[in-house]
Amino acid sequence: MDEKYFAKKVEAKWQKKWAESGAFAVTDDTSRPKFYQLEMLPYPSGNLHMGHVRNYSVGDALAWFKRLKGFNVLHPIGWDSFGQPAEDAAVKRGVNPRDWTEDNIVAMRGQLKRLGLSYDWTREIAAHRPEYYKWDQWFFLKMFERGLAYKKKTQVNWCENDQATLSNEQASGGLCWRCGNPVTKKELEQWFLKTTAYADQLLDDLKIIESGWPVHVIKRQRDWIGRSEGALLDFKIVGSDQSVRIFTTRIDTIYGASSIVLAPEHPIVLANRRKFAPEVVEKIDHIIVEKAKPVEHDAEIEKDGVDTGLRATNPFSGEDLPVWVGNYVMMDYGTGAVMSVPAHDERDFEFAKRFGLPVRQVISEPHMVHEHNSVHALALEAPLTEYGVLVHSDVWSGKASEDAKREMTAFAQKQGFGEAATTYRLRDWGISRQRFWGSPIPIVYCDGCGTVPVPIDKLPVELPENAPITGTGESPLAKVEEFVQTTCPQCSAPASRETDTMDTFVDSSWYFFRYLDPKNSEEAFGPEKAAYWTPVDQYIGGDDHAVMHLIYARFWTKVMRDLGLVAFGEPFDRLLTQGMVVGETFYDDSTGKRKYFPPNQVEVERDAKGRIISAKGVDGSDLKFAIERMSKSKGNGVDPDEMVDIYGADASRMFVLFAAPVDNELVWQEAGIEGAVRFLQRVWRLVYKWREVLVPILSQERKDPATSIAGSAAAKKLLQKTHQTIKRVDEALTTLQFNTPIAALMEFTNAIYESQLEPASSNDAEKAAMSEAISCLVRMLTPFAPHTAEELYSFITGSDSGMIADGARFPEFNSDLAAADEIEIAVQVNGKLRSRVFAAPSASNEEIERLALADMKISENIAGKHILKVIVVPGRLVNVVVRG
């Protein structure tokens, strides 16, 4: 054993050993309990960033922990390797997207390996390879067969900047998920997957996973699906046989409706266009144009609209209402038509104020009913959107909203002018992309036969070697003659292929199943493998995927269940979302624009806690500072390679885990990682110091240390701390905490040093206790610093053959050894016995004083009095002297 800890040497040695022995390559051993540990797979951009390092360090800690707990752990990795950056590189630098991608994978694989992550590399997958995307196509065809994949012409979300189509999820909040630019609309023929067919299940099944997922992710999924229960009601257009169907969640407010408002694209608008006055037509067109314009994130759009001149009859009151077109009514929600009730709806209220439409209150707070019934409708300052009691509503007056909703819906149904209905915010998933670097959609268009699926035995439809990529929005594949021209699978006539490719989110919707059986050329995966390994036990990733990827993957799994491939509908039992990695930035904004300075060009003054007091540039100018998301352009990026090179993989990973609770932001500070190095050195020195004692004891048949400690207080105390630590580390990791177990190990290491035992002067009991303590420490270190743990373990067990990775176990907790024997301490106030507290024999005077003052009886006793002094007689009593 080296006297000093050389991270590089140790890490290289164990990475080689693990690789040679296939330590993390698992088999489908159904006799053993399994654990499927999954982290979101990276996009091969060419460089790992610290977000990856955090994600994968957390995942690896859990994988190791579960291995130590005796599970057969599947811990795979792969590449989400289709997508736009490869095409951008092609446009900018003329490289082939395939070469660019493969090169990046090589580079990043190397980075992951240098971090020593315990992946089963035999299962590595990459989405851009035909043996993978063949199965994207297979799933697509299965969905096509079942009517779950269909084509329609629609307005799609379009990003001008990326020249790309976006799904609703990717355009959430009106901004492109990739570049953050405002989203516009464009009319295109698109393939859709019918996610809405699973809307209810996607919502209801949240109950199954709720306990294992972050609350905020569950909420975002629920809001995204957006189920609303309400009613559809028909309003007859006066003087015609047409009627407008509206969707409302508040039928109880119908007597307060003052107009019908239609989306500008509504069929009734189109059908009556010729009847409208020219200014009306002009206004409607203006609204349509305005709606297609990009909107700033969260910007309040001013309500706009126009009275069409049509009138429609309220089926409950018989009143004729004006029919308007309004910019706030969406064609793709509900029916694209609403009954506008200004008194009880925010948007309708604003609309009515703008255009002077009547505001009639028909719902009242229970205690105001009497007043509202006698005095007619009060002028409202703001809409009353809560449920209440109906007023001015004919025979329905006096009913509570909840009852009225139910009864009025039933009435409408009976009368034949309405029905109960549920709508969803969720839309079908548009997957067509006018891109080269994606999985081709396996469809052929034939003049005679129409839209024809490629037969399954003809898959994969392979991407050509290359295509003219311009980055300007048309499908590159359309310009590759050999690709486009084909024959119809049904009639053999000349035909052409679909030239759009699939959204890359298709690839990541099911990749975790492919890891189970990555080389299977007959099936996406063997169902018996899925029966053993899936669902995924623990998934870890960033919460930027809370709605996109996690909705798609849940949808895909439900489809797979309906195809008979798996027996469950929820792919991820537990989900953990790690916080962002952020770093200090230094900048000058005196010119109006922020100019960032790299930290090596800044002089920083800090307080004792490491917080920045001031920062100056090299020229002595004052700089401002902030904490921001890591990025190269802000000069606060940290290169994982450099970090590993300087400090080692173990220290780097350990720091990342230790620096903050896993779901919080992690503020990068170089000083912190040095602390991790010092800790590993401390553990190393401990083992080195005891090397001659440990090796013979641990390599013999282990004696139960509990039987041999009698007679040594030091040994007893050491074992007590050992087992208290085992409990803490075990519980912390079980509850997905990664910083607290490291703190516990640091404290434990300190306690071992503080025992002041020395190899030369220790008796057998003390040697046994020390051996036990160190053996436990080393094994518990594995999830955080696996290389160092392996090296120390191989040393203390006296053999290089039995690695921790071969099946070493997490230390067994012994509650008898952990139990603290406490002593009773009497607490007096002014010399009179008032209470008793319990403390560890080792408790300091300050701790005892704190315990005494925190005691309920004592604090009651001295409430309002002034403490003059507190006398502590160690191990026996406390006397609190008070006045007043």
As measured in angstroms, the least distance from the Cβ of 229 to ligand ANZ is: 9
Give the C-alpha separation, 171 to 19, whole Å: 43
Ramachandran angles phi, psi of 181, nearest 5° = -80, 155
Residue 423 or 520 with smaller CB distance to ligand ANZ: 423
Question: Quick one: which segment of 271-279, 332-340, 579-587, 697-705 binds ligand ANZ (CB under 6 A)?
Answer: 332-340
* Contact range with ligand ANZ by CB under 6 A, out of 48-56, 322-330, 560-568, 813-821: 322-330
Tell me which of 449, 531, 646, 746 binds Zn ion, using CB under 5 A.
Answer: 449
Between 330 and 456, CB nearer to ligand ANZ:
330
Span 174-233, contacts to ligand ANZ by CB under 6 A: 228
Q: Which stretch binds ligand ANZ (CB under 6 A): 244-252, 570-578, 692-700, 795-803?
A: 244-252
Reading phi first (left if > 0) and then psi (alpha if -120 to 50, else beta), residue 748 is in alpha
Give the shortest CB-206-to-ligand ANZ separation in angstroms: 18
Residue type, 262: L
Q: How far is CA 158 from CA 185, 294, 432, 471, in A?
A: 5, 10, 12, 14
Stretch that binds ligand ANZ, among 56-64, 243-251, 458-466, 824-832 (CB under 6 A): 243-251
Q: How far is the CB of 338 from ligand ANZ (least distance, A)?
A: 4
Task: Judge whether 668 and 638 are in contact, CB under 8 Å.
Answer: yes
The helix (H) or strand (E) run that includes residue 501 is strand 501-502
Half-sphere exposure of 180 (CA within 13 A, CB side): 0
Residue 450 as a binder of Zn ion (CB under 5 A): the answer is no
Give 448 or 841: the residue with its C-beta nearer to Zn ion.
448
User: Whose Cβ is closer to ligand ANZ: residue 419's or residue 628's?
Assistant: 419
Paired with 877 in beta bridges are: 826, 873
Candidate residues 249, 490, 681, 740; the one interacting with ligand ANZ per rule CB under 6 A: 249
**Distance between CA atoms of residues 466 and 461, nearest Å:** 14
Report, in Å, the least distance between residue 79 CB and Zn ion. Answer: 37
Of ligand ANZ, Zn ion, none, which one does residue 488 interact with (CB within 5 to 8 Å by kind)?
A: Zn ion
Rank residues 411 and 568 by Cβ distance to ligand ANZ and give the closer one. Answer: 411
d(CA 606, CA 544): 33
Tell whether residue 490 is a contact of Zn ion (CB under 5 A): yes
Q: Which of residues 336-365 bind ligand ANZ (CB under 6 A)?
A: 336, 338-339, 341, 344-345
Does 317 contact ligand ANZ by CB under 6 A?
Answer: no
| 269 contributes a contact to ligand ANZ by CB under 6 A | no
CA distance 440 to 477: 9
At a CB cut-off of 8 Å and minimum separation 6, what does 713 contact? none
Residue 304 and residue 324: Cα distance in Å, rounded?
10
Site membership for Zn ion, residue 454 (CB under 5 A): no
Pattern 604-643, ligand ANZ, x by CB under 6 A: ----------------------------------------
Only one of the segments 80-88, 166-174, 327-335, 808-816 lies at the binding site for ligand ANZ (rule: CB under 6 A); that segment is 327-335
Pick the stretch among 197-205, 325-333, 414-422, 463-471 that binds ligand ANZ (CB under 6 A). Answer: 325-333
Phi first, then psi: give them for residue 604, nearest 5 degrees: -115, 135
Q: Can you state the percent helix, strand and coil of the chain, rounding each to 5?
A: 40, 20, 35
Task: Name the minimum Å distance from CB 368 to ligand ANZ.
Answer: 17
Q: Token pair of 305, please?
A: 């609209």
334 belongs to the binding site for ligand ANZ (CB under 6 A): yes
Q: Give the per-residue contact string, 33-52, with Zn ion (x = CB under 5 A; - = no).
A: --------------------
Contact between 247 and ligand ANZ (CB under 6 A)?
yes
Contact between residue 489 and residue 452 where contact means Cβ atoms under 8 Å apart: yes
Q: Based on CB atoms, which residue is closest to ligand ANZ, 321 or 805?
A: 321
- From 18-26, 116-124, 161-169, 334-342, span contacting ligand ANZ (CB under 6 A): 334-342
Q: How many residues bind Zn ion (CB under 5 A)?
A: 6
| Residue 338 touches which member of Zn ion, ligand ANZ, none, C-beta under 5-8 Å by kind | ligand ANZ
Do residues 49 and 630 make contact, with C-beta atoms less than 8 angstroms apart? yes
Residue type for 721, please?
Answer: K
Q: Is the peptide bond before 705 cis (omega within 30 degrees of 0)?
A: no
Q: Rg of the chain's alpha carbons, rounded to an integer?
A: 34
Q: Taking a C-beta distance cutoff of 8 angstroms, is the pair 323, 244 a contact?
A: yes
Closest CA to 853 of 842, 786, 642, 865: 865
Q: How far is the CB of 54 from Zn ion (least distance, A)?
A: 53
82 binds, among ligand ANZ, Zn ion, none (CB under 5 to 8 A by kind): none
Neighbour-count burial of 322, counting CB atoms closer than 10 A to its CB (0-12 exposed, 13-18 middle, 19+ buried)? middle
Q: Look up residue 752 and give its two tokens.
A: 């071992």
Give 338 or 805: the residue with its C-beta nearer to ligand ANZ.
338
| Binding flag, residue 260, ligand ANZ (CB under 6 A) | no
Q: In the complex with ligand ANZ, which residue's Cβ is closer, 230 or 637?
A: 230
Q: Which of the choices ligand ANZ, Zn ion, none does residue 448 contact, using the CB cut-off of 5 to 8 A by kind?
A: Zn ion
> In angstroms, what is the minimal distance from the CB of 548 to Zn ion?
36
Q: Of 427-446, which residues contact Zn ion (CB under 5 A)?
A: 446
- Is 333 a binding residue for ligand ANZ by CB under 6 A? The answer is yes
> Given the complex with ligand ANZ, which of 352 and 559 has the nearer CB atom?
352
Shortest Å, Cβ 297 to ligand ANZ: 19
Choose between 29 and 229: whose C-beta lies nearer to ligand ANZ. Answer: 229
| Residue 448 sits in the site that holds Zn ion (CB under 5 A) | yes
Could you give the angle at the alpha carbon of 250 between the alpha carbons of 246 and 252, nearest 5°?
A: 115
- Sequence-distant (6+) residues with CB within 8 A of 6 are none
C-alpha 160/C-alpha 105 separation (Å) is 29
In single-letter form, the type of residue at position 276 comes to F
DSSP β-ladder status, 243-248 and 429-430: unpaired
The number of beta carbons lying within 10 Å of the beta carbon of residue 371 is 12
Q: Up-side HSE of residue 840: CA atoms within 13 Å toward CB?
A: 11
- Contact partner, 240, from Zn ion, ligand ANZ, none, Cβ < 5-8 Å per class: none
Integer Cα distance of 290 and 627 in angstroms: 38
Footprint (CB under 6 A) of ligand ANZ, residues 420-439: 423
Give how many residues touch ligand ANZ by CB under 6 A: 18
Choose, by CB under 6 A, the member of 66, 114, 250, 558 that binds ligand ANZ. Answer: 250
Burial 167-196 (b: 16+ CB within 10 A, else e): bbbbbbebbbbeeeebbbbeebebbbbbbb
Which partner, Zn ion, ligand ANZ, none, binds residue 253 by CB below 5 to 8 Å per kind? ligand ANZ
DSSP label at residue 342: G
Q: Shortest distance, CB of residue 234 to ligand ANZ, whole angstroms?
A: 14
Stretch that binds ligand ANZ, among 171-179, 241-249, 627-635, 677-685 (CB under 6 A): 241-249
835 has which bridge partners?
827
The encoded tokens of residue 849 equal: 């004083």
- DSSP three-state, residue 132: helix
Tell me how crowded residue 225 is: count the other CB atoms within 10 A of its CB. Answer: 22
Cβ contact 260:340 at 8 Å: yes
Q: Which of 41, 197, 284, 329 binds ligand ANZ (CB under 6 A)?
A: 329
477 binds, among ligand ANZ, Zn ion, none (CB under 5 to 8 A by kind): none
Residues 193 and 428 sit within 8 Å (Cβ to Cβ):
yes
Residues forming the site for Zn ion (CB under 5 A): 446, 448-449, 488, 490-491
Residues forming the site for ligand ANZ (CB under 6 A): 228, 247-250, 253, 328-330, 333-334, 336, 338-339, 341, 344-345, 423
